């Protein structure tokens, strides 16, 4: 049995010239995971984190109480770190510069989706937390600026997610592979349970909200038809699996193989998912595990962001499946 703490000490050399700095941030994220795990597991008993918060978030979506709760816990945990200079969140319109002596001299910024899968909170279906870490590019000694947050995903130094499912897991990368840790509430520890995760090159399911089918790009329609036609004597059909939490669909596909697609739709002409705290961290993790992540045409990690909450279509998962879907997108490029 190896705890997250022991693993971090053992892998210190992996952190890009950040001896122990990233480990400090990860230990704060681990703390947040424990708090959210504890409160999610009794959510049904209280009204503190069930239901809408009563406000609309910057996305124009009804914010759930747990969205706000998770956001506050992440912010509180990170603002107290010597290593963190600022914070960008799905739940806050602008980034937050930690404008203190400590914050101005800190080296890293964090982007987060504090609670992913909000539509599932009240119905006891798995949800998650996503984080993405960059070194700042603005000069040390000053408050961070928007340019620190608008870096392409290929500049991430770490990324990960927590999935609050049948068990709570923390899965992250620092650019040297992907490792998964399962939380043992009886010990209060995250234990290494999935070392060096590699996503199968092919998989068994596609995760797409087919409610938008009629408005999907032709390439996506053709890919869905391809998945269904694969059902013959030699090959099991691809199964449709859509949980409605990116973290949960992504995590299953990481372990079993599969593809998650959220393309452009009428309601989301640029796709629904946000590039900075959903697309980029998941793309970094997928590539580190041998998978692929595109917007249907371009590598997600090469996209130059222009706004904190900009959205992107997302095709992510098993190499062969994403490449096949991209081939259909190219064939029917509109």
Residue 118 near ligand FBP by CB under 6 A = yes
Residue 165 near ligand FBP by CB under 6 A = no
- Name the site residues for Mg ion (rule: CB under 5 A): 90, 113, 115-116
Name the one range near ligand FBP by CB under 6 A: 47-55, 115-123, 134-142, 291-299.
Answer: 115-123
Residue 116 near ligand FBP by CB under 6 A = yes
Residue 119 near ligand FBP by CB under 6 A = yes
Out of 86, 88, 103, 117, name the contact with ligand FBP by CB under 6 A: 117
Partner from Mg ion, ligand FBP, none contacting 209, C-beta within 5 to 8 A by type: ligand FBP
Distance CA 94, CA 114 (A): 15
User: What share of residues in the chain are helix, strand, coil (percent, to 5)?
Assistant: 35, 25, 40
Residue 272 near ligand FBP by CB under 6 A = yes
Partner from Mg ion, ligand FBP, none contacting 83, C-beta within 5 to 8 A by type: none
The site map against ligand FBP for 2-41 (x = CB under 6 A) is ----------------------------------------
Among 317, 158, 319, smallest CA distance to 246 is for 317
Which residues 209-248 are close enough to bind ligand FBP by CB under 6 A? 209, 244-246
Q: Vertex 316, ends 310 and 322: CA angle to 5°?
A: 125
Out of 49, 83, 112, 113, name the contact with ligand FBP by CB under 6 A: 113
On whether the CB atoms of residues 103 and 86 are closer than 8 A, the answer is yes
Cβ neighbourhood burial of 235 (10 Å; 0-12, 13-18, 19+): exposed
Among 85, 46, 90, smallest CA distance to 68 is for 90
Tokens (6 digits) for 166 = 């049948």
Among 78, 148, 152, 85, smallest CA distance to 114 is for 78
Residue 206 Cα distances to 210, 228, 278, angstroms: 11, 10, 18
In angstroms, give the least distance from the CB of 130 to ligand FBP. Answer: 8
Using CB under 6 A, list all residues that contact ligand FBP: 90, 113, 116-119, 209, 244-246, 272
Binding residues for substrate: 116-119, 209, 242, 272
């Amino acid at each position: 049995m190896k705890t997250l703490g022991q693993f971090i000490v053992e892998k210190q050399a992996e952190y890009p010239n950040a001896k122990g700095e990233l480990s400090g941030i990860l230990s704060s994220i681990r703390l947040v995971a424990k708090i959210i795990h504890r409160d999610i597991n009794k959510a049904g008993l209280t009204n503190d984190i069930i239901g809408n918060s009563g406000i609309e978030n910057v996305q124009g979506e009804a914010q759930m109480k747990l969205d706000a709760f998770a956001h506050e816990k992440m912010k509180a945990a990170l603002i107290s770190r010597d290593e963190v200079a600022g914070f960008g969140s799905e739940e806050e319109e602008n980034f937050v510069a930690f404008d203190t002596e400590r914050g101005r001299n800190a080296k890293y910024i964090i982007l987060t989706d504090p609670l992913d899968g909000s539509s599932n909170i009240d119905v006891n279906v798995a949800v998650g937390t996503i984080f993405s870490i960059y070194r700042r590019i603005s000069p040390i000694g000053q408050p961070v600026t928007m340019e620190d947050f608008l870096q392409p995903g290929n500049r991430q130094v770490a990324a990960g997610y927590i999935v609050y499912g049948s068990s709570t897991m923390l899965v992250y990368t620092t650019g040297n592979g992907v490792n998964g840790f399962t939380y043992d509430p009886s010990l209060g520890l995250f234990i290494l349970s999935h070392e060096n995760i590699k996503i199968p090159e092919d998989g068994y399911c596609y995760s797409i909200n087919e409610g938008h089918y009629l408005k999907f790009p032709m390439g996506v329609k053709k890919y869905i038809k391809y998945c269904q036609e694969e059902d013959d004597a030699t090959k099991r059909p691809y199964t449709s699996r859509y949980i409605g939490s990116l973290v949960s669909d992504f995590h299953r596909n990481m372990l079993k193989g599969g593809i998650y697609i959220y393309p452009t739709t009428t309601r989301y002409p640029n796709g629904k998912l946000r590039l900075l705290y959903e697309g980029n961290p998941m793309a970094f993790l997928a590539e580190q595990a041998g998978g692929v992540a595109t917007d249907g045409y371009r590598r997600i990690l090469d996209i130059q962001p222009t706004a904190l909450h900009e959205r992107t279509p997302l095709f992510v998962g098993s190499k062969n499946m994403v490449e096949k879907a991209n081939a259909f997108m190219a064939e029917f490029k509109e």
